[in-house]
Amino acid sequence: MNPYELRTPWVQTVQVILTAFTSRNRRTTIALLRNCGVPFTYLNVETPFNQRPRPNEPYWSRPKGISQRNLGLRWIRETLLFRRQPSVLYIADDDNTYSLEVFEEMRYTRRVSTWPVGLSGELPWEGCVTSATDRSRISQMWVAYKPNRPFPIDMAGFAVNMDLILNHPEAKFDYSRPRGLQESEFLAGLGLKHWSELEPKADGCQKILVWHTRTADPSLAAWRRLQSQGVVAPPIRDPV
């Protein structure tokens, strides 16, 4: 994510909370944020050594960003507890690419809003689907990985109204939860029960506004397997 992209009238009153996993390059990072002209808070906490992937393990073998996200949540709760203001929390990652439109969409989140994510879950895209007759309700979740999760959703695919964060101080991320269930556990901690409660954004989940863009070819193994079985993906509009 490039903070410079947020310096635009389209994205109003954005506060960046950058939680790093190391204190190295701290001065450089802070200087970059200052030059962006966007209000920011810089925090850092190291990932416990026993929770880091070993040299022979793939990067996705262990949950990432748990300590960092929890530190950010703690800062938010301590800072806003006595001076609440209408706001929305979105957890961004450094290996994602965002359309500025997604920040406009999430501003109107009542509880938890959602939208599709490109190049995610070994599919060209995954996430919410609405029917052509009712774009205001989610009819299914298009995913390949653990589709029976309470919330089969990627971290980049939802935003939370800040009232939920402050009203559920126990909601956080947990190293003991396996990969792919962090989102479900977090949303359950906010009082949600099922993905049907999520609010569809991006023209009723018809547009992709965020993509996973690591500096490596994306894995589409699940998509190729589904194609070989004759499965057809729901229609989607990718603006790129």
Q: Summarize the annotated binding site for Mn(2+) as residue ranges.
A: 95
Instruction: Give the separation between CA 58 and CA 140, rounded to whole angstroms.
Output: 30
For the CA atoms of 95, 72, 142, 121, the dihedral, rounded to the nearest 10 degrees, stands at 40
Report yes or no: 43 and 20 within 8 Å, Cβ to Cβ: yes
The label of the residue with tokens 């193994």 reads 221
Q: Strands, DSSP E only, in 15-133? A: 16-20, 40-44, 88-89, 96-98, 112-114, 117-120, 123-131
Catalytic residue among 105, 122, 126, 183: 183
Show binding-site residues: 95
Per the annotation, the verdict on 183 as an active-site residue is yes
Q: Which residues contact 126 (CB under 8 A, 6 or more apart)?
A: 116, 117, 120, 141, 142, 143, 144, 152, 154, 157
For the CA atoms of 57, 156, 178, 145, the dihedral, rounded to the nearest 10 degrees, stands at -90
Report yes or no: 217 and 211 within 8 Å, Cβ to Cβ: no
**Strands across the sheet containing 210-212:** 96-98, 210-212, 117-120, 123-131, 134-142
SS3 track for 65-94: CHHHHHHHHHHHHHHHCCCCCCCEECCCCC
Which residues are annotated as catalytic? Answer: 183
